[in-house]
Amino acid sequence: MLNETTLTLTILFPAAAALVVALLPSRGRVIQWFTLIASLIFFLLTLQFPAHFTYGQQGFQFEVNRDWIASPNIRYHIGLDGISLWLVALTGFLAPLGVLASWKAIDHHAKEFYFLFLLQQTAMVGVFVALDMFLYYAFWELTLVPMAILIAMFGRERGVQAALKFFVYTFLPSALLLVAILFLYARTGTFDFVQLQAMVSHGGSLFSERALYWAALGFLVAFAVKVPVFPLHGWLGDTFSEAPTAMAMVVAGKLGLYSILRFNLGLFPVQARQLAPWMIALAVIGILYGALVALVQRDMKRLAAYATLSGLSFCVLGIFCFAVSGVDGALYQTINEGIIGGALLILLGILYERYGTYEIAAYGGLAAHMPLFATLFVIVSLALIGLPMLNGFVGEFLILSGSFAGHTGWVAAATVGVILSAAYMLSLVQKVFYGGQSEMVREQPRPDLNFRENVTVWSMAVLMLVMGLASPVWTRAIDGAVVKLVQPASQAAIPCVLGPTPCVAVQQ
Amino acid sequence: MYLVLFILFGGLCVAGALNLLLQRHPINSALSLVVVMTSLAVLYLLLGAEFLAAAQVIVYSGAIMVLFVFVIMLLNAGEEERTFGSKAAYIVGFPGVAALICTLTIVFLSARHLGETRLGDSLVSVHDLSLVLFRDLLLPFEVTSVLILIAILGAVALARKES
Amino acid sequence: MMQIETGAQVPQVYRILPEVLLTITGVLIMLVEPLMPRGASRKPMGVLALLGSLAALFASFWQMGLPPGTAYYGVVQTDAFSVFFHVLITSIIVVSILVSLDTFDRKTENTGEFYALAVLGAVGMCIMSSAVELLLVFIGLEISSISTYIMAGFRKRSGKSPESALKYFLLGSFATAFFLYGIALTFGATGTTNISQIAALFRQSETPAFGYVAMTMILIGLGFKVSAAPFHIWTPDVYEGAPSPVVGLMSTAPKAAAFAVLLRIAYGAYPWLHAHWFLLIWLMAAISMTVGNLGALSQQNVKRMLAYSSIAHGGYLLVAFTALSREGIAAATFYTATYAATNVGIFAIVSHAGGYEERLNSITDYRGLAYRSPLLGGALALFLLSLIGIPFTAGFFGKFYVFAAALDSGVVWLTIFGLVNSGIAAFYYLRLLTSVYSKPMTEAQLATIPALKPSLLAALFVTVTATLILGIFPGRTLALARAGAATYAVSGSSTSVGTANFSLR
Amino acid sequence: MNGDPSLHLWLIPILPFIGFLLNGLVGRRLPKGLVSTIALIFTAAPLAMVALIAARFSSLTLPHVERLAAPWSSGSWILTSAFRVDFSFLLDPLTLVMLLVVTGVGFLIHLYSVGYMAEEEGYWRYFAYLNLFMFFMLTLVLAENFLLMFVGWEGVGLASYLLIGFYFMRSSAADAGKKAFVVNRIGDFGFLLAMFLLIGHFGSLSFSQVFPAIAAHPEWQGGFLTAIALLLLLGATGKSAQIPLYVWLPDAMEGPTPVSALIHAATMVTAGVYMIVRTHVLFDRSPFALGVVAIIGAATAFFAATIGIVQTDIKRVLAYSTVSQLGYMFLACGAAAYSAAIFHLVTHAFFKGLLFLAAGSVIHALGGEQDLRKMGGLRKATPITFWTMTAAVFAIAGLPPFAGFFSKDAILYESFLSPTAGPILWFVGLVTALLTAFYMFRLWYLAFFGERRELAEESHGHHAGGVHESPWIMLLPLVLLAVLSLTGGWIGIPEALGGSDHFAHFLEPVIAGQPHSSVEVTKQAAAEGSSVPQETAAARTPGKPARNTNQERLFSVVSVLMALIGWFFADLFYRRKPGLPEQMAERARALYLVLKNKYWIDEIYARFIVIPLLFISRYILWGAVDTGMIDGGGYLVAGSARGFGALVRRVQSGNIRSYAGWLALGAAALLLITYFGFVTHL
Amino acid sequence: MVVPVAYYLVLSAILFSIGVGAFLIRRNIITVFMSIELMLNAVNLTFVAFAHQWHRVSGQIFVFFVMVVAAAEAAVGLAIIISIFRARETLNVDNVNLMKL
């Protein structure tokens, strides 16, 4: 049932579906239904991998390694491990939801939209599974294109500017990434991730320290923009406020964070540790900065953007503290952010469909008209601010607790973000849903969620709860890969492993 | 004698060229160019290229320049207006020209292994020429016909008045 | 470049078969054209030209089977390198004729001449790529140049087209003089103008300084032809004024041929001067990329923008030269193909959308093109993405290969510079792209876009396919480009000059 | 963990959760009767379970730990190779006491709510939230590790948030809910950091691993343990509304009154106390932390009581009273008198729950009126409410034999025995007792005696008669709680007063021996020699004065006296000379204003924390940094690129001669490079 | 009485440069075109000089070809000039600047 072509099939399926979409007639909702079914099949395909994953096995699984281009030595090498496993599934999960979220919102040029939407799925899965640097870079760049075009086509007011900003912001640093990749190739003659890993760690004569440092920095900058990390987040606000929901859901976070884990930690463990102090500082600044700025936003989408910045900075913090639990948590939180942020954006999109504005001040007392919507919004907000039993908490807790021992001061500062997140999210909830009804809400009563919207958001809400309660289902695979990742150069004391008698490291 | 001839006709060349540069009426420039070309033909002779010298006079001075004069007359081109459309030509162009002339001159003068020329030295006969032209360089010669074809074609296409 | 002795005797004419076929086609058109009634459609001429150039294309492919060798007393040489460019040039001609078939028909009385010029111009370009005698190179260069000068001025009724032709012609001839001077100095330094002998003879030259100056002069002349900065200055004006199908042609085919010549001369004739031309080309590449991209940044006119883009792409291509390696040659060769596939395609769309009268000029005129015609919009998007260098398009792999080769040779800074430049470039391509995909201001503007004709569809099919194939499965083409590059390595290692000095860094 | 059969402890919290899910998901479409039935059943069931467990309690091996073997991997909640947390539950005497209080009082208040909320619109929502609260509260109490406790901890905060904001259309309610949550989050911040430290030092969060580990290392004193204890204390001050984080509780009165009774009086706010007692092992190792706890407790008790004196909203008076009483419990904790703290927690749950419910009954009777100044003379109209209220007032004032007397007495005496500044703490407590009696009797007099001062608006249309007694379903809990307020204290009558102090003995297994261990350590250290300076050791654990039966009796008398004095003044001010309070207020205007305005603490927080924070965020971070530097930087780069582009295009003048000039220059440049770079080196 | 070949070369360089200079100075398109012819002639002199230097005929052959090319260019160039004159009614290069920037 699960042979080696499944992974290839998973990558190519959305692209193939996109071609079919291009040929379908734009009549009625044919395209929507087709894309929905295709994305559901895609989701099922991505679920194959967790179902057949062999735990405890080192290295990559479902691997395919074929010749592609003889010279330069580029291979079609793909595979999955614990790091990418659930990210692929997450991509699959968000695909049908993205279709559902766009059902009504995309009221013109559905064909173009769904064509690019499906292409985007291929690109994202490709990023997660590519094990050849060339292939990886190709997918990485490819993710930008549907995004930029869709922002331009479906932007609210300043779509074109936002699209340009997004593209240039992310495209320019990937030039540095390409330089770094080419540099590695020049020295080793291979683009293969596995071979590179071995050569970088053992080939002392191949590289000078400085060169490796710069190469690692090149990788990191490109990824940091995509995450985004604090001073590089300039594109996020505009992109969030202009992009169609289905695209904004997937634009930030997972791609960049995955890449940092896979390449900065996997390929350059030593350099990653040299860069870590900077990244930790930026992450903590990002957490607090994002939260504080979110506190004073007047536009919901911008608030969501800064909240995302804050939330993703937690992941960055976790990654660069190099504690097993912390990195586990960072990856787990990456998945969580995908779901929570996605749900938040879908909800905002639903609101926009009804009232046509993201201006917070225009709303008020909405809960009376739309109780179900309000309920879901509160659940999502709670997940976002890390309420225990919901998924956000597990991730945040693992990140902070894991990293605390090594970087007490920074992590303590980061924990303040927990307070601030509650402040801005609950303020939003209060201003929009509670209190007296605003003029707009009073005069334009709008229906509560319909069946489609209910299905969309409830499925995410339930997943938030399940992920908050049964995290080992996910962290098991993650942990297996992360231990290997963190181990090589981790001299810093990891908090003691659990045993019958707790081992104790008393400081002072 | 040889040196005198060189200086005389070399000087004539330069004078003609300068006159071309300085005259504001195109006819005067064209006539100056004829002077340059004819002087060059003499220099070719000095360098032993007899046939070439003849061809220079016939083809260049005779045919091409006549064409120029013909067009000048056709278009009734008068004295050119004094327009100052381009500052860049003076500001960046002249330093460029100066650098060009200096560099080339220095390079040529500092070349040590160049030979010397005498009168009647190494005359090239038509036989030698045709041997190379119609054997070794047959293909370029044939290809030239394509060039001429294109030129005719282009001249016709461009100069024809569209109705 | 040494004389490659042909083991099996091949009839000499086989070596120039594509050129012969093209010439015959051109002459045929010239003979038949006057017989056609005035005002009648000249499409049959176009079809004739198409067939002729297709025949030349197949002949070029067929040449692949020939053993490498020279003909006509060593003035032309067919090898993988020349075949690559022959195929490329004839393909470009085929597509360009397809594009102009409907754009030009009945719009001008000189349509027949146009086809003849295109086909005969291709003769010159093909010859440039296979000539190993500088005289022949010069003749080829002139054929290709003159034909493009004329074609640039084809829209006589508009004020811009003759101006474009004049500028191109005057400045082009100006640059040709430099090129010619370079040849003269080469002859002075070595006593020969045969590329395959220059390298060897230059070693014994008593006036090596002439060689240096000669190489510089040749670089100036060819730099002009490939619109490399600082000799790029004519490009925007000429591209703006010339008819769009012609721009598609002249921004690719003559450039490809000129690059072929530059490769032959730099690597074949003057390998000993690599330190010298490396520096000059390095500078030209850096300036070209910067000037091209910055100039295009706030350019509103689409054709001018593409002209600046073409300058920048010339710069990227020159980066490959600085690799000083077989990979570099292959990369440069390959890049000409990727750029040609994309650019011919993009100008096919520009020609069609604007028509002969060139109704669409500024970027905002293109607003909503994707809504009017999704196919045109989609294809344009693909080409623009390819120009940006988005993966799975030709442009990406071309750029990737070029920079890989450069970095492989340790040309780090130019690579970084180039890649950052390509990042900046994304901005202006995207402006057009987003414009194409944003809602049109008025419907009327786009209503003038004619319906798609089969010939244009065919042209788009070819270019889109080429763009994708070169992006996803570049293996075949790459192998051919590498084989072409290998011809230099062969000459390097087997001649007496040795390669120690030129050995790849 | 031990030989006992599984008690299915996990069912205790889960049952209310099921109730929550049922009501929350489909309650909207159910009739009110069914909604309340569901809610009651799923509250009664855990109560029954707890009762059953209590019945067989003596036969259990304690502590009893159960791990919920979840069907997913390894049955853990969080599992990494460095760290794991399980869903594990702990049953010991402390838990049992808390369970009984929570389920018992919780059930009664559910019952009460059926009547109180009968006419509210969001009936189903209310009961769903209430059940949710029960779920989290029981989780908090049953948790066997810090993290699960934290689940309950945050969860009750959530339930509190939802219930305070129950009347969400009222901005003040929604605001109060938000404030409660955010302020609690500040406390949770401390809790989180404490957990991080625990993980760092113990690698685990399980009580059964952390506490034995500390016990096994008697040499650990202070240091990181102090840090952990203080951080936990921060959490506790948030949840239990102590200085400095008490500000949310008075505002929380915006919620429905039963909610105030259950959450903001009886159960949730005592979680901080429970937590300190649960983790007393840590606090015991840190006299400094204990001292801080005691000082915070005493200060809060006094401070809140003073504010309570002048409040006019009946619920706010009770709220400040709650804060004050919680201060007592903290004081007890600080004095390491954990059983006294829990004892007071229990009795407080009874009488304060009762006070709120009775107040709710009053408000209900008056059709929503909460202003004490407009009440009066309710004694006749609502006799049952009056008598139950009386029981509660006597209990809180500390009059024997009501429950409050015994627990407060225990606290006061223990605080006197406290090693750090015992007598001072005792004195503060004593004064507070006086104040407590005063403001409670003030409330009592204002509400029930005299004549009704102002008729409430006729808001309840069908209660045309205005004042009326509440229905039986509301009165039943009142009566039951009144009985408990009277008798609840008898389980812990100290030996000095002829009792056997059952309660303390019951809790002994949990908190036994701990205060002594530190003394032992000191002895050890002293015995080992000079490594520990004598003074330090002495300062750390000055020996507690021994218990003295006579002294204890004397103290009881003094505290009763204080309560009586308070009663006397209240009687004087509010019954006999009703004009006196105003005169007093005139005379000590400054003091009155300070108290009236609650020391301006809210305003100070707003002025010095919230407003600057918002200012910095809006103008410096968002305005200057984001819009200015980050966006501006982007535009600067783009702009300068365009500027260079314009330069490039300037060259493009369109003039052929200029072009030729540039070409010539370029050619010359290349030639010069060639010449100077290469030809001259030949 | 001998003349070094270098003199011829210098002479050609001077002529070439004057050609470039004339291109820059003259406004009449035809004159500008003539200056290009001058440059080509200068190169021709170089060819002949080197042919003499190397005693190789091919240098002179080159000059023939250059003549052909010059003739072809003249035909085309003058046609272009005629066409621009028709379109613009001017022969001044400074007025041929419709396209810029």
**D253 and D177 in contact (C-beta within 8 Å)?**
no
Q: Do chains B and D touch (3 or more CB pairs under 8 A)?
A: yes
The model's pTM is 0.90
Q: Is B103 on the interface with D (CB under 8 A)?
A: yes
Contact C74, C3 (CB under 8 A): yes
What average pLDDT does this structure show over A336-341?
Answer: 93
Summarised one tens digit per residue, pLDDT across range D456-477 is 444 444 444 567 788 888 889 8
pLDDT reported for residue C104: 79
How close E1 gets to chain C, by Cα (Å)? 23
Least trusted range by pLDDT, from A70-74, D410-414, E53-57:
A70-74
User: Using 50, 70 and 90 to split pLDDT, how confident is the model at C489?
Assistant: low
Chain D positions in Cβ-Cβ contact with residue C212 (cut-off 8 Å): 674, 678-679, 682
**Most confident residue range from A98-112, A122-136, D535-549:** A122-136
How high is the pLDDT of residue D533? 40
Interface test with B, best of C29, C31, C113, C194 (most B CBs within 10 A): C113
Using the beta-carbon criterion (under 8 Å), do B43 and E79 form an inter-chain contact? no
Tell me the residue ranges of DSSP E strands in D20-164. Answer: 64-67, 76-80, 83-86, 88-91
Which chains does D contact via 3+ CB–CB distances below 8 A? A, B, C, E
Contact: E14, B101; criterion CB under 8 Å: yes
Angle at A473 between CA A468 and CA A477, to 5 degrees: 125
CB contact under 8 A, D671 and B99: yes
- Chain E, residues 8-67, CB within 8 A of chain B, namely 8-11, 13-22, 24-28, 30-31, 33-35, 37-38, 41, 44-45, 48-49, 51-53, 55, 57-58, 60-61, 63-65, 67
The whole-number pLDDT of residue C124 equals 95
Q: Do D656 and E100 touch (CB under 8 A)?
A: no
- The C-alpha atoms of residue A488 and residue D577 are separated, in whole angstroms, by 82
C167 chain-E contacts, CB cut-off 8 A: 96
Question: Would an 8 Å CB–CB cutoff place C180 in contact with chain D?
Answer: no
Write the DSSP assignment of E48-62 as a string of letters: HHHHHHHT-THHHHH
Q: Which helix (H) or strand (E) holds A69?
A: strand A61-69
Interchain proximity C116–B163, CB inside 8 Å: no
pLDDT higher than 80, residue C490:
no
Question: Which range among C220-224, C262-266, D93-97, D457-461 shows the weakest confidence by mean pLDDT?
Answer: D457-461
**E and C: touch, per 3+ CB pairs < 8 A?**
yes
CB contacts, 8 Å: E56 with chain C: 187, 191-192
Average pLDDT over residues C151-171: 89
Q: Report d(CA C472, CA C480) in Å as an integer.
A: 16
CB contact under 8 A, D82 and A495: yes
Interface contact flag, B151 C146, Cβ < 8 Å: yes
Contact status of E20 with chain D (Cβ, < 8 Å): yes
Question: B137 touching C, CB under 8 A?
Answer: yes
Given phi > 0 = left and psi -120 to 50 = alpha, else beta, which region is A263?
Answer: alpha
Give me the mean pLDDT over the C338-358 stretch: 91
Task: Evaluate the omega torsion of the peptide bond into residue B140 and state whether it is cis, within 30 degrees of 0.
Answer: no
CA A429 from chain center: how many Å?
A: 24
Interface test with D, best of C176, C220, C272 (most D CBs within 10 A): C220
Residue D3: per-residue pLDDT: 53
Nearest residue of D to residue A426, measured between CA atoms: D178
Q: What is the mean pLDDT of residues C306-323?
A: 93
C461 pLDDT exceeds 90?
yes
**pLDDT for residue A506:** 35
Most confident of A31-40, D50-59, D256-265, D522-531: A31-40
Measure the N-to-C terminal CA separation of chain E; round to a whole number of Å.
Answer: 56
Nearest to E96 among C166, C177, C192 (CB): C166
How many Cβ atoms sit within 10 Å of the Cβ of residue D630? 18
Q: Greater confidence, A281 or D588? A: A281
List A61's β-bridge partners, or say none.
A80
| Per-residue pLDDT at C107 exceeds 80 | no
**Measured between CB atoms, which of E21, E44, E67 is closest to B21?**
E21
CA gap D455, A477 in Å, rounded: 68
- Would you state the pLDDT for residue C43? 87
Residue C381 contacts A where some CB pair is shorter than 8 Å = yes
The stretch D155-175 carries a mean pLDDT of 89
pLDDT in tens, chain B (163 residues): 788 999 999 999 999 999 999 988 999 999 999 999 999 999 999 888 889 999 999 988 888 999 999 999 988 888 878 877 778 888 888 999 999 999 999 999 988 878 888 777 778 888 888 888 888 899 999 999 999 999 999 998 888 877 6
Cβ within 8 Å, pair C178-D667: yes
- State which amino acid sits at residue D188: D
CA A121/CA D29 separation, integer angstroms = 40
* Set of chain E residues whose Cβ sits within 8 Å of the Cβ of C165: 80, 83-84
Q: Which two tokens stand for residue C110?
A: 């000189």
Indicate the helix (H) or strand (E) that contains C62. helix C43-63
Helix axes D146-164, D123-142, angle to 10 degrees: 160
Q: Is E24 an interface residue toward C (CB < 8 Å)? A: no
Of D570, D316, D353, D560, the residue nearest D441 (C-alpha): D570
3-class state of residue A61 by DSSP: strand
- Answer yes or no: do E80 and C139 touch at CB < 8 A: no
Band of the pLDDT at C386, cuts 50, 70, 90?
Answer: very high
- Could you give the maximum distance between any two Cα atoms of chain B, in Å? 62
Residue D295 reports pLDDT greater than 70: yes
- Please name the member of D73, D77, D195 whose beta carbon is closest to the beta carbon of A401: D195
Residues in D closer than 8 angstroms to A467, CB to CB, are none
- Per-residue pLDDT reduced to its tens digit, A182-220: 988 888 888 999 888 888 887 667 788 888 899 999 999
Q: Tell me the mean pLDDT in the region C197-218.
A: 90
CA distance C285 to C279: 10
Are D192 and A415 inside 8 Å of each other by CB? yes
pLDDT band at D73 (very low <50, low <70, confident <90, very high): low
User: Which runs of consecutive H residues, i.e. helices, occur in D203-337?
Assistant: 207-215, 224-239, 248-251, 257-261, 271-278, 280-284, 287-310, 314-334
A327 has a pLDDT exceeding 50: yes
> Per residue in A456-491, pLDDT tens?
999 999 999 999 988 888 888 888 888 888 876 444
Query: What secondary structure letter does DSSP report for A58?
Result: -
DSSP letter (8 states) at residue E89:
S
Give the mean pLDDT of chain C. Answer: 88
Return the residue of C nearest to A115 by Cα.
C378
Predicted complex ipTM: 0.90
pLDDT higher than threshold 90 for residue D117: no
**C403: nearest CB among A160, A164, A178:** A178
Q: Give A2's pLDDT tier (boundaries 50, 70, 90).
A: low
Q: To which H or E segment does residue B138 belong?
A: helix B138-159
Band of the pLDDT at D57, cuts 50, 70, 90?
confident
The answer on pLDDT for D536 being more than 50 is no
Asked if D664 reaches chain E (Cβ–Cβ under 8 Å), the answer is yes
